[in-house]
Structure 1
Amino acid sequence: MAEEVGSGAHEGGVRRADVRRAWHRGLRVLTTVVRWVGTAAAALLAVHVVLTIGNANPDNGITRFVASWADWLALGFQDLFMPADPKAEVLLNYGAAALFWLIITSLATRILTTLNGRSI
């Protein structure tokens, strides 16, 4: 069967409109995933700060779990500031890491949203 001229179909039979819809759907999903991951990382870092400042039991399983993830998510911010008070150190360093995650997440979602507004 012959293909109509101007139908927008590629050789494989996939129409440009279908590719465009898949592209936009994929970018929306990626934007949502980036937003959730970045927000979860910042929230976990904030919980670590609260647990530390609130004198949570360091031997508790929840506290250990949060601390281990917070150390990994801090991305080198753990020793950025070195105040004499250990609680202030956690607040400044892990708080800075949380802000970093929020800023990077915001920038990434804006870029992805902008890309999603353009046609391929």
Structure 2
Amino acid sequence: MARYEDEYPDNRGQRGSYDYREGRGERDAHGSRYDYDYDEGGVDKVSVVRRVNGIISLICGLFAAVLALHIILFVADANFANPFARFITDWANGVSLGLNNLFLWGPEKVQVALNHGVAALLWLLIGWLLTTVIARIVLPYPDRNWYRRR
């Protein structure tokens, strides 16, 4: 088993090292290593995918945060006649994915915490799944990496 990069033969059967900082191949005039990184209009596919994935992550994270805030307000016995608490409650009921009455056992606080907690986790899972699928399908092979938030 080879321990060092220079012990791996390259595709011509010769020994050589691979410089991971340089990437695979030469860069063109646009600074891109691959000619398929740009569409006809000069739009970088990687940056478009990152922006779209960032928007999806932001929206799904916002929905999960609203559900978590509703759980906190409900468990802390907030005054739901207050406009802010009413707004959060209405919004949480709208993004709860129909899970408002999934668990019906125990006190009402436990029911709300479980139902909206599961919905918040599902929103995070949906966001992760969408961003992963978009990055894996849209990006070309050499740039097809798992999407990571920075």
Q: Structure 2 length normalisation: TM-score?
A: 0.64
Once the 2 structures are TM-superposed, how far is the Cα of residue 24 of structure 1 from its aligned partner?
2.8
Q: Which residue pairs with 1:33 in the alignment?
A: 55
User: What is the aligned counterpart of 1:101 among 120, 123, 134?
Assistant: 123
Matches within 5 A, 1:53-64: 53-64=75-86
Matches within 5 A, 1:45-56: 45-56=67-78
Once the 2 structures are TM-superposed, how far is the Cα of residue 99 of structure 1 from its aligned partner?
0.5
**Quick check: 1:85 aligned with 2:107?**
yes
Once the 2 structures are TM-superposed, how far is the Cα of residue 16 of structure 1 from its aligned partner?
5.5
The higher-RCO structure (CA 8 Å, 6+ apart) is 1
| Structure 2 CA distance for aligned equivalents of residues 40 and 76 of structure 1 | 17
| Structure 2 CA distance for aligned equivalents of residues 78 and 57 of structure 1 | 20
State the number of aligned residues: 105
In the TM superposition, structure 1's runs of 4+ consecutive aligned residues that sit over 6 Å from their partners are none
Q: Which residue pairs with 2:88 in the alignment?
A: 66
- Aligned with 1:90: secondary structure? helix
Q: Give ranges in structure 1 of 5+ residues lacking alignment.
A: 1-14
Once the 2 structures are TM-superposed, how far is the Cα of residue 39 of structure 1 from its aligned partner?
0.5
**Quick check: 1:19 aligned with 2:39?**
yes
Tell whether the 8 Å contact from 1:28 to 1:116 is kept in structure 2 after alignment.
no
Q: Which residue pairs with 1:42 in the alignment?
A: 64
Q: Which has the higher helix share?
A: 1
Residues 43-72 of structure 1: CA distance to partner in whole angstroms, max 9, x if unpaired? 110000000000011101111000000000
Q: Structure 1 length normalisation: TM-score?
A: 0.79
| Structure 1 CA distance for aligned equivalents of residues 65 and 38 of structure 2 | 37
| Structure 1 CA distance for aligned equivalents of residues 37 and 106 of structure 2 | 61
Tell whether the 8 Å contact from 2:37 to 2:46 is kept in structure 1 after alignment.
no
Tell whether the 8 Å contact from 1:48 to 1:70 is kept in structure 2 after alignment.
yes
| RMSD (CA atoms) | 1.9
Q: Give ranges in structure 2 of 5+ residues lacking alignment.
A: 1-34, 142-150
